[in-house]
Each structure stands twice: as structure tokens, then as C-alpha cells.
Structure 1
Amino acid sequence: MTLEISAAARDALQTWLASARALNGVSENTVTAYRGDVLDFITFQTRHHGEPQGLAPLARITTSDMRAFLAHLRAEGVASRSMARKLSAVKSFYRWLAEREGFEPTAVLSARSPKFQKKLPRPLTEDAARAMIGTVEMQSQQGWIGARDAAVITLLYGCGLRISEALGLTGSHWPFGSALRILGKGNKERIVPVLPVAQRAVATYLDLCPWPMAPDLALFRGARGGPLNARLIQKVTEQARMQLGLPATATPHAMRHSFATHLLAAGGDLRAIQELLGHASLSTTQAYTSVDQVHLMKVYEATHPKA
């Protein structure tokens, strides 16, 4: 007989997801990941104990239960990074559930996340970034599509935008002026400067675009006039990097990494770069310092007072 998750547990999960969406402004992709991770946990505990896990059983989860869950994930071949993400989602759910139901969640919250080596950003060199923009533009036989793709990549590299942020721009954002107001992850707003080269790239695209612009329509359009799909930008970037002989890490997101790294190399302030990227935590931005150690050592040697 297949054991099912209790209705009370499902209701609690849905209520938590709704509150995360409303109060924390998390994206739908994040909500989907949370739902899957916590469902995996509850499903395992249901099978582990041989009975549906209602709210009372969930409140009695022990350290042994947590160890069994992590051992199960390892046996399933789940990578350490994914295990850490799942455990983080479970802990977030339990903090909320414990406060609502009035129990002590120590057994869950004290579970140790598996260690894994964080992947550092792999930026392109300045020459490679410029070559990427030029090569992307040559991938389409239709001039306006080539100009469109180049404009998108220019915004990723010139303004440090996420691809979702660039493709989320509408006609109401144009003309850009000297700065753009961007609504990023968690509905957090930030202001990013717009370089003249980025303004020109977008202006060239709009001059060639056959589809009429309107304030409520996507700025970047697909071949049939609808909003541009991120997968198309990923595909054209892949084609360009293969022509240039660049590694597989030369993705659209690498252009954003390159923006931050090149700013840092030019003496940019880490806090200012954090604001430009829209990172919630400085520790996220600090990852970029690890990819430019040679430059940092040169600065150290040139500026540190010698005895």
C-alpha cells in the first residue's frame, strides 16, 4: 500500500509557501524548489516511520531521523550542494512550523549541512567579453535579431544585469537615460548606471526591430513578436563561444560575473559592486575577490607601506 502525506502536512506546506511568496518576495522558481525539497523530506519520513506524518509526528522528528534522511540522500547519489539546498529548505519550513505550532525544532535545525566547495565565478577576459558581443551579433541572418542579441549581452556585461532582468525590461524603460531602475530578486529595487555603449546597442536594435514598441510590452522581442525567451540568448551565446574557442563556462551569466570582476580589477569598491549587482549579502559579492588574486597582490605590493 502506498503511504500518502497527511492532509495537515500538505496544508502546512502550502501555507508556508504562500507566506514565503508574499512576505519574502521569493520567485516562483524558488517556491517550486522549496515545495519539492520539503515534500521529499516529508515523503521520506512517511516511509521511514511507516505512517503518514501529520503535524504532531513532524514535531517529534529526532536527530536520528535527520541522519536517516541525509543518509538516504547520499544513497540516492544526491550531490552535496543539492543536499545542502534541500536541508536549508527543510530548516526554513521548520522554523516557521515550530513558531506556529509551538514546538522545539532543535533536532532539525542542528542537522549539519554537508560541506562542498563553492563554485567560483569564471569571468571572461575583457577582450573575450568584447569578442563575445561582436560574435553573438553575427549569429543571425536577420540583422535586427543579431542587433537584439548583441544588445542583451551588452546589458549583461555593461550593466551587470541578470538575464531575467534584461529580458524583463519593457517599453516603459526606454529611453534609458544615464541609469536604469531594476527590480531584481526578491523584488529588491536598485539603480544601475547605463554606459553610452549599452544605450547605443539598444537604440540600434530598436531602430531595426520590426515590432512596434509600447510601454506595457517587452523591450526585447522574439521573431514572432512575443517576449524574448532566455533560452535563445543562451543558445546564441553557446554558438558564439564555440566559434571563439571559449570554455563552456562562457555563458550569459558569465558576462555578469565579468562585469563585476573587471570593475574590481579597475579598483571598484566591493560595497558599490554589491549594490550594482543587487546581492543581498556582501559575502556573495566577495566571491569575486577570489578570481582576481593576481591583481589584488599587485595592488598590495604597490600600496602597502614597506618597513
Structure 2
Amino acid sequence: MGADCSRADRAVEEFRVYLESERRLSPRTVRAYMGDVGQLLEWMQAQGIGGWDVLTPVRIRDFLAELWDRGLSRRSVARMLSAYRTLYRFFLREDEVRESPLEPVATPKQEKRIPNFMDVEEVFHLLASPDPNTALGQRDRALLEWLYATGVRVGEAVALRVGDVDIAGQRALIHGKGGKERYVLFGRSAARALTRYLEVGWPALAGACPGPGDPVFLNYRGGALSDRSVRRIVDRHMVRVAGYHKISPHVLRHTFATHLLDAGADLRAVQELLGHASLRSTQIYTHTTRERLLQVYLHAHPRA
């Protein structure tokens, strides 16, 4: 058993090198793969399964049953199965195994999750939360206005540069996922908040005037905000105005899409503004909109 364990561990280490050297995956992605593979290997060893070549579809299903019992979501189980399929493709290539036990194992269908969103009144309270008389308050107001006005991802807001923003034209160039670029629009309220921040708050934080290549959103030391900092800022103001805690900034992206669709915006236009590669990613918001319309109808129509 000891030799088998050593061989199984060695095979996993070779897989890690493959992910880093041949696939050139990011350290974070490699850690995710290895975490998933490590869970399966630990379970195999606890079950007395001697190596990757003797793992069967039945035992894989036993392992999945344990994951369900732990309360893992379909999305998490599907991700783990994807990692194991990649692992066994590598093992097949290296003649570590003769066949993959994953072939007959179906990937669980994904749940259609309805995103959370805020109503208009909640958004207005949120946007009014920051102190307009301080540099950090001006930054927070500009950031919150920006996230709601444009629907951009947190990473896209953090990557925004001063030269990407055309305040007079009320549009900005966004550097999105996979190196894709798109333009987003924003209204007068966001334009006013950005102008105030860039003219007053930004120089106070940085000790200089902003240049085209500088990040738009700064931390208190004058450096670029991180994703984590954006989450803390949004969470702080959410707690202040609504008592919500641990709310993701992504809620503002969901809210942006839902409010546009509620007002009759074209689905493909919303898809383009969100930077979704597939229309299916945008269609999840239409369910929320239909539910809201039904509630309005039932409440307002005399014969409902």
C-alpha cells in the first residue's frame, strides 16, 4: 500500500508540473486543480484504493455521493469532475492508466441561479451614503456610481485608467475578460461624481493631478484599489444603508442589468454592455424581470 500511495502521489506531482509547464496555467488555477485532485486522492487512500489505474466508475460515484452529503453545490461538483477529467486525460497520455473511469460519469446539470439585485430606492440610498466632503468619500461615491451606471465587473473597475474615460462623451473603454475590449456608457450622475472625484478627491489621495495612464480608483495611500478593497467599500456602505453584510459588488452588476431589462432594454444591448460572450449568460436576468412583471400585474390588474 505504501508503494502504491507513493506512486499515486508521484503521478499527481507530474500532473502539477504538466499544468504549470505545458498548460501554463496561473498559480491560482493550478492550486484549484491540485486542491480538487488532493481531495480525491485523500478519499482513495482512506478507502484503500491503491492507485489511479484501479479507480472505477462505481467508486467515483461513491466519492461524488460523499460530496453531495457534504452539501457541495452542483457547480462545485461539476468543477471537480472537470479537474478529474483533465487529470485522466493526462494519465492516458502518459500511459499511467489504460482507461478513464470518468467516461460513464455524467456531469451534474447546472442550477439556474437567479442573481440578487437591489430596487431603485435602495440604490439611491446606497449612492448617497459616502461623505461628499472627504477624498475617500468622493472616491466611494464615484466608485458606487460607476459600478451601478456601467455594470462593469470589479476587476474591470480596478483596471480602469483615467485615459479610458471620456466624461464629456459619457462613455469609457473597458478592458474585459480574455483581453476583450468594449465601450460602456454612463449617465450624468456618474459623470458628476467622477468629475468631482478626479478634480478634488483624486489629487488629495495621490498628491498630484491624474494622468491618462493612472488608475481611476485609488486607495488611501494613492495606489490602485484592489478587488478586495472594492468589496470592502461596497460592503461597508451596504451595511450602513440597508443592514446587509457580506454583499458582493456583483450585486450592482446584477442590479444594472435587471433595471435596464425592467425598463424595456433590448436583451442583446444589455449583453453587449455587460460584456457577456454568450446571450445565455444575460438571459438569466429575464426570469427575474418576468417575475417582477407578474407581481405588478397581479397587484394592479382588477381582474387578475
Query: Fold-level match, TM-score > 0.5?
Result: yes
Q: In the alignment, what sits opposite 1:190?
A: 182
Deviation of 1:198 (Å): 2.4
Partners in 2 of 1:260 and 1:195 — Cα distance? 15
Q: Structure 1 101/202 Cα, relative in aligned 2: closer, same or farther at 3 Å? A: farther
Q: Structure 1 39/271 Cα, relative in aligned 2: closer, same or farther at 3 Å? A: farther
- For residue 120 of structure 1, give the secondary structure of its aligned residue in structure 2: coil
Q: In the alignment, what sits opposite 2:226?
A: 229
- Higher alpha-carbon deviation: 13-22 or 117-126: 13-22
Q: TM-score, normalised by structure 2?
A: 0.78
- For residue 173 of structure 2, give the secondary structure of its aligned residue in structure 1: strand
Partners in 1 of 2:45 and 2:38 — Cα distance? 10
2:237 alignment partner AA: A
List runs of 5+ in structure 2 lacking aligned partners.
299-304
Q: Structure 1 126/224 Cα, relative in aligned 2: closer, same or farther at 3 Å? A: same
Matching residue within 248, 262, 266 for 2:263: 266
Q: In the alignment, what sits opposite 2:302?
A: none
Q: In the alignment, what sits opposite 1:218?
A: 215
List runs of 5+ in structure 1 lacking aligned partners.
302-307
- Higher alpha-carbon deviation: 109-118 or 280-289: 109-118
Alignment of 1:1-307 (within 5 A): 3-4=5-6, 5-16=8-19, 29-45=28-44, 47-51=46-50, 53=52, 57=53, 61-94=55-88, 98=92, 107-114=101-108, 117-135=111-129, 137-138=130-131, 143-175=134-166, 177-208=169-200, 209=202, 210=204, 211=206, 212=208, 213-245=210-242, 247-248=244-245, 250-294=247-291, 296=293
Deviation of 1:100 (Å): 7.5
Q: Structure 1 188/110 Cα, relative in aligned 2: closer, same or farther at 3 Å? A: farther
Q: Structure 1 237/294 Cα, relative in aligned 2: closer, same or farther at 3 Å? A: same
Q: In the alignment, what sits opposite 1:305?
A: none
Deviation of 1:246 (Å): 5.2
- For residue 202 of structure 1, give the secondary structure of its aligned residue in structure 2: helix
Are 1:6 and 1:52, in contact at CA under 8 Å, matched by a contact in 2?
no
Q: TM-score, normalised by structure 1?
A: 0.77
